[in-house]
Structure 1
Amino acid sequence: MMASTDGRATTVATKVEVGGNACGVAVSGDTVWVTDAKAAKLVAVDAASGRVRARYAVSATPCEVEVAAGSVWVTTQSGVVDRVDPRSGKVLASVATGAASYETIGALGAVWVSNRNGQSITRITPATNKGSTRSVGEVNAGGLVEEGGYLWVGDDTTGASAILRIDPRSWQATPVPTGGDRPGYVAATNGRVWVSNVKSGTVTGLDTTTLAPVGPPAPAGASPVNLKASADGKWVWVPDDVGDLVTRIDAATGAAVERVQVGAGPAVVAPSADGVWVTHFDDGSVWHLVLR
């Protein structure tokens, strides 16, 4: 564990036992949405109290969660993304995707899904719940984010060393080197994209205009995975699912400034107004980390 180098400290404010395999997490208003991959449930947690309000059935092996177009979108390993009504918990639609879908985002008037084993991206039109899928070549599409009008796609392949920048209008794809091995996961702050190089144990910041690295890669544990930017864009939070740590990176400098010990198998993080929520796949919990 690394002590803070910027005079601030992250503490654990809340621990919630969800059960099973807590995988994806998203925050919307006073609700924290968590998926249980083992039980195929979407769990609604009260953000203030940490109380589990409800558990809703979804398709098998759910993980990543996105709140967009008035709905909760649950990425599953069942060949579909479930669109869930946040008020009733009812699955409004199950939209077909490619194989082993990984991440879903709402951006540019649509909902986009990365399909890792399908080496493709699915575009869903929220008004119709219709999806169309396009190839990304020989790239195992992992993390997905939008910044500057482009889609940025991680390559979750050991030995890969570049992510893709895709123009969603022309579908022109530009490889962008990251300086690391298996750049599978991506996040964005204003004018920058951040990449977890899983096998290298580092995070690279990329300038979205020049495509050049922002400083040297930052160390981020043994296996940095589903990183996310803070709500104000000042920090990038990176879970290490092998070392049971979360690293905080300064988005201005690209340097790691704190490393926090968390639970077993941290998988996904989601920003809150005062910190970040982190799921733990191995022990079935979600924690709220608060930055003081």
Structure 2
Amino acid sequence: MANPLIADVNEQNFQQVVLDNSHHLPVLVDFWAPWCGPCKAVMPILEQLAKDYAGLFLLAKVNIDDNQNLANQFGVRSVPTFKLVKAGQIVAELTGGQPASAFKALLDQHISRPSDALREQAQHAQQAGQTEQAIALLQQAAELDPNNHTIHLDLVNILLSTRQFEQATTLFNALPSTAQESAEGKAVTGLLHFASLAAAADDIQTIQQTLRDNANDPAALLGFASILMLHHEYEKAMQALLKLVMVANDYQDGVAKKSLLIIFDALKASHPDLVKTYRRKLQSFLF
């Protein structure tokens, strides 16, 4: 059965299918050719995304062999080339074979989801310390928009910050690999490491008292860094781990260095400057 969210486009219907529709929802234009291997490889990915996003964007396919004027008009020099059109304007583009995560990242910047308002309310509730309300709002958003895995990652983050480690791990492991391997997913993967460390640590009040008595206590520094990570206090967590490297580098088989490397990998996409700074500090101490 034909999918109304996927259209074959030519010079005759381009205005109606792409430009007119782009005033109502984003249109991803796929310039392809029958002889292009990467074009054929990426087509199932795009069709699955059109299904998953369920009406949040339109996929328009342009065969450049049959529509050379369109290809020339839009400056297509190689295939596949993808251009996202919104309100009659090209707002983003990609070229070459791409994974689903690249298309999701492109689309998510320009798509308004029904769940966005609930996610925003949940973030405000969490910032105000209303954790239970934040969780309820995210669960509601997930029911409304089950294919938006960013919602589930938000929920995992809250569960981790409230020490509900088992529930957080179970939810994360149930997500598809595309979500786990996204920049947000990798950040959560790093947090799961610190969740296991925090689960074995004392509570924050005991840790703080221990550090007041002995600022170099290895167990307290590791527990403090782990809790800071779960609350997204990334720089403070790295400071604590760097101090642990300095005072007890061999503690728990070098757990401080290993943990810093996990942070670097988890945050290199979202906090590149911070990672670069602390990678340099770690290297200067070790070498």
TM-score by length of 2: 0.27
Greater share of helix: 2
Calculate the TM-score normalised by the size of structure 1: 0.27
Q: Which has the higher contact order (CA 8 A, sep 6+)?
A: 1
Bigger Rg, which one: 2
